[in-house]
Structure formats: C-alpha cells, structure tokens
A = this chain, B = another copy of it.
Amino acid sequence: MLLVERGQEPYAGRWALPGGFLLPDESAETAARRELAEETGLADVSGLHLEQLRTYSEPGRDPRMRVVSVAFAALLPDPPEPHAGSDAAEARWTPYDEARDLAFDHDRILADARDRVGGRLEYTCLATAFCPPEFTLGELQQVYETVWGAPLDRPNFRRKVLATPGFVEPVPGAARLTGGRGKPAALYRAGPATTLHPPLLRTSREGRPA
C-alpha cells in the first residue's frame, strides 16, 4: 500500500492514503491518475489499471470541511520509490497488514479496497496487472496468495490458470526464468481474456460479506 505521512493538521504525523482534489476540468479517474503519477514519480501511468472502488460522503469524515472522496485502486508490479507530495511529510510502501490507524476513514477505505480487489481476482484476469509483463505462474500465484491471505495448491492453481483460455499465454521461444533456486519456471504474459469462466474461487471466504 502506498501511504503518505501527513504533514499538516488534522491527523498530522498520521499515515493516510494519497489523494487530492479534482481540478475544474478533469474526471475523478483523471485526477486519480494524476495524483498517482505525482506520488510515485512514474512517468507513464496511462497503461495502469485503475479501478473505481466507491465514494465516501459521510458528513464529518474530514473535520475541516465537507469532503466527498472517490476511492480508486491502482495495481502496480515492482513499484518505484515514492516521492512525498506537497502536503505530505513522507511517502512509502507499506504491507497491507501494517497499514493500520490511518487518518480519516482511510482504514475503512483500505479494507474495502482489499475486499474488492480480492473479489475481482476471483472473476477477472486482474491478477496479471500485479505482475511484470513477463511472469511465472509462481509469481501469479503469489498475487492471489498475498491478496487472499491464504496459500493455494500449486499444481491445482497451475491447472486452473492454464485451462482458462486467454488468461495467460506462454512467451514464445520456451523462455524460462533462471537464477532462482529450483527448476527454472516457464514465462507467461497476460492473455486477451478479461473475465474468468468459471471463476477461481476462494474455498473458504471468511471476513466481510456482501
């Protein structure tokens, strides 16, 4: 999770999700992409998947004034070192489990985000957006295991992924990733499919329903 340390009141010194205000002539999507580029320093964020989560509009969620926030999730593999924005003291990547006690209602937003992304991993090919352009099935599986917080059986995962047409396709030339510890893994890239049929379901879905 990309978090920024707030430099000003309210919640000065507390960590928060990065964000900003809409400019007069941009959509929320455009603004989110702009803020993402600013915080990460990434030159090209145009190809990144940006997913609108939901809108938070409860009065009083910002003690200063009425603020309506449209939350987005962006998924980037191998993220670069972040750059703190203007009103932030610092910015850094934090594991999900350590991102606690955030400013405003950002704990709630973060939990919703994980929920949503975890759910979309089941029914869409979203997981490849977390991977570099060429990846091994082990890396893809780690995406699922990280977001879902549960281990998966490797042979079954492999069978399922390869049996889904268009999910992944092998890199031509029988390319393999060497340098690891075990047998070199074959390299794949994202296929043309966007949805998974049938879905790749978590066996036991604990946690927040509906």
- Which of A's residues lie within 8 Å of B, judged by CB? 22, 24-29, 52, 54-55, 57-59, 66, 68, 70, 119, 123-124, 194-195, 197-199, 201, 205, 209-210
Hey, which chain B residues are within 8 Å of A70, CB to CB? 55, 57, 68
Tell me the complex Cα distance, A181–B201, Å. 41
Contacting residues, chain B, for A58 (C-beta < 8 A):
27
Question: What 7 new A-B contacts, CB under 8 Å, besides A26-B59, A195-B205, A198-B201?
Answer: A22-B68, A54-B54, A57-B70, A68-B68, A119-B123, A194-B210, A197-B205
Q: Nearest chain-B residue to A54 (Cβ)?
A: B52
**Using Cβ atoms and an 8 Å threshold, which residues of chain B touch A54?**
52, 54-55
What B residues does A68 contact at CB under 8 A? Answer: 22, 28, 68, 70
In the bound complex, CA of A81 to CA of B55 (Å): 30
Which residues of B are found within 8 Å of A199, using beta-carbon distances?
Answer: 199, 201
Nearest-neighbour CB distance to chain B for A11, whole angstroms, equals 21
Contacts of A123 in B (CB 8 A): 119
Could you list some 14 contacts between A and B, CB below 8 A? A22-B68, A24-B59, A24-B66, A27-B57, A27-B59, A28-B68, A52-B54, A52-B55, A54-B55, A55-B55, A57-B70, A124-B210, A197-B205, A198-B201
CA distance A25 to B27 in the complex (A): 24
Query: Nearest chain B CB to A205's CB is how many angstroms away?
Result: 7
- What distance in Å separates the Cβ of A111 from its nearest Cβ neighbour in chain B? 16
Residues of B within 8 A of A22 (CB): 57, 68
Given A194-B210, A195-B210, A205-B195, A28-B57 contact (CB < 8 Å):
yes
